[in-house]
Structure formats: C-alpha cells, structure tokens
Amino acid sequence: MFDRIAVWYDFLNHFLSLGIDRRWRKKLIRHLNIQSGDHVLDMATGTGDLAITLAKSTGCRVTGLDVSEKMMDIAEKKTRKKGLQGKINFHTGAAEQIPFETETFDAAVVAFGVRNFTSLEQGLKEMYRVLKSGGQLAVLEFAQPVRQPMKGLYSFYLFHVLPLAGRIFSGDKQAYSYLPASIQVFPQREAFLNILQGCSFEETHYQPYTGGIVAAYYGKKPAK
C-alpha cells in the first residue's frame, strides 16, 4: 500500500496537515537531547522527512529503516539533493525484527509509523533492544482530541475530508481509508504510555500538539 502512494506521500502529508507536520517533527526533536556524534534510528522512515530534519538540526548520524523500498527511494533522492549522504543511510526492514545489533543507537524515533507495526509491542521491544543504555525513544503519532469542538471537527475531517482528498489525488481509496481507521484503534495517551512501560521503558510521558490531534510520546532505556 505504501509503495503505491509513495509518489504522493509528501505532497499529501503537507497539504492535508496545512504544513503543520513540519512543525510537529521539529518540536519532537527539540525535546530530545541529541548530540552531533549520536547515532539515531528513524524507524518507519518513509520518505525520510524526520531523518533529514534530524541530521540538519543536530548534525547526528541517522539510519532510516522501512518496509517500503519505493518510499526510501524517494528519501534517498531527497537526502542527496540536500547533500546529506554522509549523514543518513537507509535500510529495508521491519520494526518487529530490526536488523541491527543490540545497543547500537543513542536514540530511536518514529513519526506517524508506529500504528502501522504488525505487532506494536514487538516493534517497541525491538527498538528497546537496539538502544544503548540510557538511550532515548520518541514517537510522534496521530491522536483523537477529547474536547469539543475540536473533537467533532477533527472526526469529520478524518473520516470524510481526508479520505476524499487522498483518493482524488492519489487514486488509492484503500490507503486513505486505512489512515483514519488505524488512528481510531490506536491506543491513546496513557494507554500507549502503559504499553511503553510494559516494554521496559522508563520516564515515559507525552505532549499533545495542535489541540490534541497529535501526541509526542517519550521514554528512556534505563541506564546501567
């Protein structure tokens, strides 16, 4: 599915979020303590927006991992265009079986991809495994507002406007019907923090953005 919509993915992300998605990624990164010498895993990297923002803003090394090769083809082109080939590399792989050694990365991040994991807990446990002692985790994901009128407006947009716009531009009905359905069933706020804690992460907390339509979740692997 993601291979099918790869060529439209960036345009629709920015168009349907009115460009606010760029701000969300920058906020996520500012909350982390990423140093220029750090090595960061960008899980479900897609077309590489978060990986590129990370490398440009912190100078760190980024490894992007995704199951969609066509998405990463676009990510590699964007990386070359920005002259970041030496800072970012991409690999094909799934969250449930990350193809890297234990304690490889200083931080692991996921932007709008964790709800696509085949097994949420297994993917989180794998990210925990590849993090170094004291390593940071950050997850940016869509949420559902709890207060009106934002709750009603967002629900109408999510289930009516977004699928129609996505279908018109990309021609893929399934992909943009899948998006609101996956948001609806994803564990929200404290429920997701409980899952992080069950996967051994500590210091877990979250921050809502833009009236609660997005949440940034944070945790750490305990230091030895």
The CATH code of the domain at 6-144+187-220 is: 3.40.50.150
- Residue 182 has a pLDDT of 81
Partner residues linked to 207 by β-bridges: 216
Structure tokens at 90: 């991409």
Please name every residue paired with 92 in a beta bridge, in sequence order, or none if there are none: 66
d(CA 162, CA 184): 14
pLDDT of residue 180: 75
Give me the average pLDDT of each 10-residue run along the chain (224 residues).
58 64 92 95 94 96 94 93 94 96 98 92 98 97 82 77 70 67 88 98 96 94 92
Q: What is the pTM of this model?
A: 0.89
Query: Residue written as tokens 């934002």?
Result: 150
Beta bridge partners of 66: 92
pLDDT confidence of residue 144:
84
Q: How far from 190 is each of 58, 67, 85, 194, 215, CA to CA, in Å?
A: 29, 28, 38, 6, 11
Query: Which tokens belong to 12?
Result: 């629709």
